[in-house]
Amino acid sequence: GAVVSQHPSWVICKSGTSVKIECRSLDFQATTMFWYRQFPKQSLMLMATSNEGSKATYEQGVEKDKFLINHASLTLSTLTVTSAHPEDSSFYICSAIGHTNEKLFFGSGTQLSVL
Amino acid sequence: DAKTTQPPSMDCAEGRAANLPCNHSTISGNEYVYWYRQIHSQGPQYIIHGLKNNETNEMASLIITEDRKSSTLILPHATLRDTAVYYCIVRATSGTYKYIFGTGTRLKVLA
């Protein structure tokens, strides 16, 4: 199946710093990428949808200035958590879908811990 | 909001079939039923999807009722490695096609 690579797997940072998470589709062109966050023992919550070359669409309640999403190419999207605070600590997961718009493939996730 | 409801948890004996139900009574004609599973601290893994016909692949079978208001994912011979949270999602493949996850079913396969 298609492969989506997410990096880093885990990151620990100090409060107030920014963290960038990369998501790459390795063997297909990702026309759309989705970013989720997940708290312990909870389901995945959709944060935003990004299409290549256009601005991301954020879900209600998600601060676009806090979570910057860039989808500059058909194989790469990045999520930057700006001025991270302890409440931003979470598991962030990216996913990508190609031209067939049929299956969504997920990255392995990034565990962010903000001290 | 998620358009599916699933039981929060289920147990299954190793080697037996695991049958995971999903209710999607408000499903639209152009919406597919997708199943994913998530093993602890990993990204979700695609299992299977279908529109109205039953589907089978190397991982599982998907049985969709004739009225499409519910479905069942069947793992024919559950193993300990099938212990995971299973998510049922309905989604159109055109227009607004976001994947919205519900609470899922936590399946525990018992030795």
Per-residue pLDDT of A29-59, as tens digits, reads 888 899 999 999 899 999 999 988 888 999 9
- Chain A CB contacts of B102 under 8 Å are 43
| Residue A10 contacts residue A111 (beta carbons within 8 Å) | yes
Do B99 and A95 count as a contact with CB atoms less than 8 A apart?
yes
| Residue A108 contacts residue B40 (beta carbons within 8 Å) | no
Q: How confident is the model at residue B98 (pLDDT cuts 50, 70, 90)?
A: confident
Res A26 pLDDT > 60: yes
Among A39-43, A64-68, B93-97, B98-102, where is mean pLDDT lowest?
B93-97
CA distance B40 to chain A (A): 9
Residue where the block lists tokens 């601005």: A55
Helix (H, G, I), strand (E, B), or coil: what is residue A2? coil
For residue range B66-82, what is the model confidence (pLDDT) as tens digits?
999 999 999 999 999 99
pLDDT at B43: 94
Do B93 and A34 count as a contact with CB atoms less than 8 A apart?
no
Buried b (16+ CB within 10 A) or exposed e, B62-75: bbbeeebebbbbbb
CA distance A39 to chain B (A): 11
For residue range B16-45, what is the model confidence (pLDDT) as tens digits?
999 999 999 999 888 899 999 999 889 999
Q: Is B46 on the interface with A (CB under 8 A)?
A: yes
- Chain A CB contacts of B87 under 8 Å are 43-44
Residue B37 pairs in a beta bridge with: B45, B86
pLDDT at A1: 64
